[in-house]
Structure 1
């Protein structure tokens, strides 16, 4: 929700926050398969196997639910709940957050993923009494797998594809994240939703459906 929906359409974002989410689209199974294979391979390994810049430690299991205690951004109360991808425990007692991406993200997407990682870091460091508490979070980043080319192919047996791993460090910037949260919460607190984005397909569909329903109702009341 804090990643793409906020940028795509503030009206859809407001509606989602008030309990009316967009219809869920099917998620391609191939991405989940890649994610599971990578998770099993790196489980228990040193984080430096992802990238040499990461400190020594241990790569832990993924898909962990996190929940913060009640917090505030300016005058707005909030809490964070979500499921993070992977957690790394470093030998110096600090922690790292790692998100797997099956394609190298475009530059304009990095801010969106950074917000998500900052939210998880906040929830871990300021956890609810029953939440997962891990602090401090000192490293965050995206481990991206980008297909490059087919290396070998044996019909009916195997296909070897070379994948280019890319580590993208996300620098911690709590002040920017707090300002973003305050702007988000100000929109959610409004009694009415903002205007739809001009190119929002979901809002366009809803508007056209309402217009068609009005025409059908008018035709039914005026038919001979």
Structure 2
């Protein structure tokens, strides 16, 4: 009807790890102009205060709740040449940090941001192993939490590393999507990675899916 509508949030920037993106998609499909107005963003706030490299970063939202799926996701992200940023709930923080130390390497540098831009804001830095041990021994923290993990030392360019990444991604999603995600992470060609994933599945006797 020619009027303006605002989408707001009381917990950071709307649409970041948020199903509201469907509303924006529908608006665009209907020819409605969508204008972003930047607001507080916990992932970027944590990144800027983490002391970790910020020239390349990957926001990965929340990790899966189930342990096996969580390790598979982390294994797929292990060689990404960028700082990794996650949301995590206070009650799962210690467990997730332990899984990160196992899958990504306990010596990887990391930072935990809690209640960013609020009264009780806290940033804690250290290795993944040290942070996992700290939160395992501490009381459950309160508030909203962002985890930043420093990048891998080297890019995943060895064939064995890429094969492992493909299989880990394929454990969570269809083969075509797994190939697309691997292409984003490695800079490789989607079709070549898709063919390689099918070869790996054929060799192991798995369904192509």
More strand by share: 1
More helix by share: 2
Global fold match (TM > 0.5)? no
Q: TM-score, normalised to structure 2's length?
A: 0.29
Q: TM-score, normalised to structure 1's length?
A: 0.27
Is the radius of gyration larger for structure 1 or structure 2? 1
